[in-house]
Amino acid sequence: MSSKLIRHSLFDQRYCEFLTIMDLTHEGNILEAMESTCNDLFEPCEPCHKALPELSGISSIASMQSEVIDGPEQQQLRVYLRVRPFSKEELNSAEDQGCIVLEDSETAVLHAPKGSASMKNSEKGIGQSMYKFSFTQIFAPGVGQAEVFDGTVRTQVQDFLQGKNSLLFSYGVTNAGKTHTIQGSAKDPGILPRALDIVFQHISGRQYVVMDLKPYLGSDVQRLDSVQLKIEKLNKAALFSLLRESDAEPQKTGRSRSSSSSSVSSLSFSSISYDQTESSAEDMHVQFCVWVAFYEIYNEQVYDLLQLNNSSKTKKRPSLRVCDDSNGNSYVRDLRWVNIHNADEACRVLRVGNKNRSAASTKMNQSSSRSHSIFTIKLLRIDGNDVQGISELSLCDLAGSERCNKTKTFGERLKEAGNINTSLLILGKCIAALRSNGVKSGYVPFRESKLTRLFQGVFCGRGRASMIVNINQCASTYDETLNVMKFSAVAQQVVQVIQPRSLESLAPRLVGRDGKPLVKNGVIDQQAVDNYLSEEELLDGDDDADMSILPQEELLGIIESLRTKLLAERRKNLVQEIQIRKEMGDAMLQQLMDSEEQHSQQMAKLKESYEEKLENTFNLYKDALKEHAYQCAVERVEEDYIPIEEYNTAQDREKELKTRLSEVEEKLRRSETSSRVGCMFSPLQESSTQTMHEGSPASDADAERCKLMYKEKCAVEKLCCEKQELIVTLESRICELNDTLQEAGESYMEKLALVQTLQNKLAYQERETERLQCDVTEKAAELTSLREELAKLSQAPVEPSRPRRGLLANFKESVTSPRSATLCRTLKRSVRSTASLKKKPV
């Protein structure tokens, strides 16, 4: 990332922090917070003038973008600087300390004077004592109004005459020359009278003098009928007559504006002469109609400066609402639009407005403007019966920003300062958001203040905007001036994307008296016109008429008839409301009953399914247990099984062997006895044995028998051993079998215990189900009582004294009544118990 980009993002980050602090800070502290944060804002750009290449880098990108011919036009917000000359008093009080130095027509350098907060901070090593700023153009103190006009809004006025929208702000601290720049003086008129003069010169000879086409809502046009036309003319005459009254008693009005304002009262444009703005040949048959409005935003309330009863000191001024039309254009509802035919009439409208404008003294400026005042001119292009287009030029004189502690502001003035700062803060936020969004779309807090909401369209590409920053060179206001300059540096980076508008899109909607369109797809809707004409006699013309000019008796009559209408309307509404309530109550009851029915059905099903499941599981366990016991038994039987024949044979053989064994033993005993006798006579025995061997056949046979017997004895002994082993094996098997049998018994006992638990659970479920059934019965009883109550309610007579709180409130009440709350609680409880029933493991 290049160092430039890093520095730029640092700047962005610092600015976001600055806005956050501004958000958190209110009332008088706003500007102090702004000041301290602003000091840091430029800190990374050391030395300060190094900030400029970055800004100019951005501007070059923006200017490159503005060269795109097709599609939307992109242009950097034009920010001009006008420096006011010192007054005599300021020179006498040593305000000239060379704080502002203009390097060239685009660059201004600010040097912090001694004693200023900036200087103190720079001495502490925080912030700078010198700042450099660039502007689209700078107007030095000696530059006159004409030059300022030519260098700033002249092109915008020409655009306005071509059907485009334009907006100009004058921004700056109190007493910096904002009003002077916008309105000027009799000898030296400001931007507004000059713009009006150009407009009237341009349309001279092509004016549409009938006042029957009037701006309507945001960007539509209304065709006035004869009654409305008459009222319009009366209103205009009444407005100008106000001025005559005040001219007759100039000393009586205590709230006159500043020197510039009072001089506006004798404003004349005769001294101004301009080249006629070029008109194309096809424009020559087009007629123009000019309407103006003058209003102010004071303490976040919109007030019409052209209201006839504004001069009354006792009455509270009615504030107006800001609304959006179907195209999303914001407009001031019920704002008075005055049709003017020449610059002189425009001047008179301005004077009436100035008379009404809120002005209050502060320490800094004897009649400082405490509100944002907006003068709007609407130009209608009329071709025959058709309105081809409508364009708007607004000049906004912003209230001066100021620090509460410095200006010694209290009470109402402190509130004013807070509101002024808030709306300027939102303007700053919008500008910062537009700057950071660039050409991309993103959130811009236009709707957070009336001022920004009204001009959202222009900032969003429905026109061109520019800003004149006014400053004075006084050392005492250096810190505020520095903040203004920093704000303007941000504003200058905003790139406006101006949408190209086709002639069709420029054409406004033409509406009749009732606000319904008169022209559909370029063809006059004859039916709508007929309706409009036939209604003319029926309507009493009180829709748009200004009631205040009617006689008192008439007004009282109107009020009385309106009161009767209102009462009838209220009665009708009440009956309707009761009917709707009853219908809704019935519907609700039906719904409740249905849901109750559904609920009980669901419960029954649930109970059945649980019972079934438990039964199945129990049976499964039982079967499994039986199967297991059977399997164990079969296995044991298989292991221990010996065929019966084999067993019998073995038994027989054992018996036979035992018999033979006893015989052999007997024989052995006998032979032993004989051998003992033979030992006593051994030589004899040996010889006899020898003899037996050699010759005697009887003794041979005995010997043979003995041998045989001996062999048999050995075999029997062997067999006995084998049998002994078999017995041991069988005994161990019997032990094993006993163990297995014991295990099977234990397992059987366990299963038996499990079955017992399951049976307990089943019993519990059954009890729960019974309880739920009781609940259901209870609810049914409640429902019946509810139904009865509702029936009683619907039969009960209407109480006239009952406050009308709207259908929603009554509906809420019926929903939140204690009885329905109990029902809700019961329902919730059943739902909870169902849920918990579901959650419980099987």
CA distance 397 to 376: 11
d(CA 195, CA 160): 10
Q: What is the nearest approach in angstroms of ligand ATP to the Cβ of residue 175?
A: 5
Nearest to ligand ATP of 350, 382 (CB atom): 350
Angle, to 10 degrees, between the axis of helix 818-839 and the axis of helix 697-795?
170
Name the minimum Å distance from CB 28 to ligand ATP: 17
* Residue choice 176, 343, 475, 495 for contact with ligand ATP (CB under 6 A): 176
DSSP string, 257-293: --HHHHHHTT---TT---PPPP--GGGGG-EEEEEEE
Q: Which is nearer to ligand ATP, 410 or 681 (CB)?
A: 410
Interface residue with ligand ATP, options 330, 373, 470, 496 (CB under 6 A): 470
* Tally of residues, the chain: 842
Nearest-approach distance from CB 424 to ligand ATP, in angstroms: 12
Collect all residues with Cβ–Cβ distance below 8 Å to 453 and sequence separation of at least 6. Answer: 322, 330, 446, 447
Evaluate whether 144 touches 191 at the Cβ level (below 8 Å).
no
* Two structure tokens written together for 265: 């009262």
Q: Residue 174 annotated as binding? A: yes
Segment contacting ligand ATP by CB under 6 A, of 177-185, 639-647, 713-721, 798-806? 177-185
Q: Tell whether 355 is in a known binding site.
A: no
Residue 179 annotated as part of some ligand binding site: yes
CA distance 677 to 688: 13
Residue 741 to residue 632: CA distance in whole angstroms? 9
For residues 30 and 161, which CB has a smaller minimum distance to ligand ATP in the complex?
A: 30
Question: In this chain, which stretch among 178-186, 322-330, 432-440, 708-716 interacts with ligand ATP, using CB under 6 A?
Answer: 178-186
Q: Quick check: helix, strand or coil at residue 675?
A: helix
Q: Is 193 in the site for ligand ATP (CB under 6 A)?
A: no
Q: Binding segment for ligand ATP among 112-120, 243-251, 254-262, 691-699 (CB under 6 A)?
A: 254-262
Give the interface segment with ligand ATP, choosing from 37-45, 174-182, 777-785, 819-827 (CB under 6 A). Answer: 174-182
| Beta strands, E only, 644-783 | none
What span, in angstroms and rounded, lies between the C-alpha atoms of 373 and 395? 8
Binding piece for ligand ATP, criterion CB under 6 A, among 253-261, 534-542, 705-713, 723-731? 253-261
- Please report how close the Cβ of residue 470 comes to ligand ATP at its closest, in angstroms: 6
329 versus 367: smaller Cβ distance to ligand ATP? 367
Angle at 344 between CA 343 and CA 346, to 5 degrees: 60
Residue 352: CB minimum distance to ligand ATP, A: 18
How many residues lie near ligand ATP (CB under 6 A)? 18
Backbone φ and ψ for 355, nearest 5 degrees, come out as -60, -40
Count Cβ atoms within 10 A of the Cβ of residue 344 and give its class: 0-12 exposed, 13-18 middle, 19 or more buried: middle
Q: Position 151: which residue type? A: G
State how beta strands 330-332 and 322-324 pair.
antiparallel
Return the residue of 92, 241, 259, 674 that touches ligand ATP, per CB under 6 A. 259
Query: Considering beta carbons, is residue 84 or 450 the nearer one to ligand ATP?
Result: 84
- Token pair, residue 752, equals 């038996």
175 is in an annotated binding site: yes
Select 363 or 829, whichever has its Cβ closest to ligand ATP.
363
Q: How many CB atoms lie within 10 A of CB 79?
A: 25
The region of 104-112, 252-260, 297-305, 500-508 touching ligand ATP under the rule CB under 6 A is: 252-260
Q: Which residues contact residue 35 at a Cβ distance below 8 angstroms, ignoring those fewer than 6 apart?
A: 117, 479, 482, 483
DSSP-derived 3-state class of residue 131: strand
The nearer residue to ligand ATP, 34 or 664, going by C-beta atoms, is: 34
Among 128, 174, 394, 477, binds ligand ATP (CB under 6 A): 174
DSSP letters spanning 536-554: HHHS-S-SSS-GGGS-HHH
Report in angstroms the alpha-carbon separations of 345 from 227, 303, 339, 340, 349: 23, 21, 9, 6, 6
The whole-angstrom separation of Cα 533 and Cα 225 is: 8
Q: Taking CB under 6 A as the criterion, which residues in 354-373 touch ligand ATP?
A: 365, 368-369
177 labeled binding residue = yes
What's at 414, amino acid-wise? L
**Closest distance between ligand ATP and the C-beta of residue 183, in Å?**
8
Q: Is the dihedral of CA 553, 557, 558, 559 positive or negative?
A: positive
Closest CB to ligand ATP among residues 88, 802: 88
| Residue 834 marked ligand-binding | no
| Region 399-458 residues binding ligand ATP, contact defined as CB under 6 A | 400
Q: Does 483 participate in binding ligand ATP (rule CB under 6 A)?
A: no
Q: Determine if residue 173 is labeled as part of a ligand binding site.
A: yes
Identify the residue among 177, 193, 215, 418 touching ligand ATP (CB under 6 A): 177
Smallest gap from Cβ 396 to ligand ATP, in A, equals 12
Site for ligand ATP in 332-351 (CB under 6 A): none
Give Cα 113 to chain centroid, integer Å.
46
Q: Which of 118, 134, 165, 260 binds ligand ATP (CB under 6 A)?
A: 260
Residue 84 engages ligand ATP in binding (rule: CB under 6 A): yes
Can you read off the two tokens belonging to residue 109? 């350098």
Could you say which of 178, 355, 599, 779 contacts ligand ATP (CB under 6 A)?
Answer: 178
* Minimum CB distance to ligand ATP, residue 260 (Å): 5
Picking from 477, 479, 481, 89, the residue whose alpha carbon sits closest to that of residue 259 is 89
CB of 188 to ligand ATP, least distance (A): 8
Closest distance of CB 178 from ligand ATP, Å: 4
All residues at 6 or more sequence positions from 828 whose CB lies less than 8 Å from its CB, including other chains: none
d(CA 421, CA 423): 6
Candidate list 85, 115, 250, 500; residue touching ligand ATP; CB under 6 A: 85
Stretch that binds ligand ATP, among 255-263, 442-450, 632-640, 801-809 (CB under 6 A): 255-263
List, as residue ranges, the binding site for ATP: 172-179
Q: Which residues bind ligand ATP (CB under 6 A)?
A: 84-85, 172, 174-180, 258-260, 365, 368-369, 400, 470
List, as residue ranges, the binding site: 172-179
